[in-house]
Amino acid sequence: EATAVIFDLDGVLVDTAVFHYQAWKQLAKQFDFDFTEVENEQLKGVSRVDSLNLILKWANREVPAPKKEQLASLKNTWYLELVEKMKYGDVLPGTLDLLTYLKAADKKIALGSASKNAIRILEKTGILHYFDAIIDGNVVKNSKPDPEVFLKAAAEVGIMPAACVVLEDAQAGIEAARTANMPVIAVDKSHVLTNYNARVNDLSEILISDY
Ligand code: BG6
Ligand code: MG
């Protein structure tokens, strides 16, 4: 019986993980590099700068810090162009039912995301008002798999880690939840994740009677 549910954002509540992938691919093209969906799994849940560092490593590129900032900001511009096309209600299957249920059942609802664009996306899709706490890339220092983001979310809603449940689509996020001593449900249609407590294809498969 969880008393708080901590949601990852990209790929769990909204279909933005594909936008991140597209935008990073477009950026990699700038230096004639490409990477696969399998490699992309390693970028999920990871901060913008850490993602860029990984891509540069894969591409065998060394770039000075100011150039890195430029590249990260270019990727974000492209990413936001895709986000801007999203509409009110553009959330993944099961999202609204689950949020509505949790609210009615008086459960705490928190966001635990690496994204610096989280609030903008929650606002745009119309689900911001459900959240009791928002811990995002603007407030955490350590990227998933570090548990900081989830521990901060639990603290902000005043619930013990073991009474929280985390919903994640990234391996880094699963490890973060595990380290935080929180049970974690993988949102993993493609069966690429491991080390979770339960797996669903999307949020519509969450058995709300369990929470
Ligand atoms: C995570 C995504 O939610 O946020 C990562 O899974 C992304 O792919 C990270 O890099 C940071 O997002 P943003 O929006 O701050 O660039
Ligand atoms: Mg995610």
pTM score, whole prediction:
0.96
**3-state SS, residue 37:** helix
Q: What is the pLDDT of residue 209?
A: 57
Rounded to whole angstroms, the Cα distance separating 8 from 162 reads 17
Q: ipTM of this model?
A: 0.99
Q: Is the CB of 178 under 6 A from ligand 1?
A: no
The runs of H, that is alpha helices, within the chain are 17-30, 37-40, 48-58, 65-84, 95-104, 118-125, 148-157, 171-179
**Average pLDDT of the segment spanning 147-169:** 98
Q: Is the CB of 170 under 6 A from ligand 1?
A: yes
Q: What is the pLDDT of residue 2?
A: 74
With contact defined as beta carbons under 8 Å apart, do 146 and 126 qualify? Answer: no
**Average pLDDT of the segment spanning 124-130:** 98
Rounded to whole angstroms, the Cα distance separating 41 from 186 reads 13
Q: What is the pLDDT of residue 172?
A: 97
**Average pLDDT of the segment spanning 11-32:** 97
Examine the pLDDT at 210 and tell me if it is beyond 80: no
Ion ligand 2 contact residues with beta carbon within 5 A: 8, 10-11, 169-170
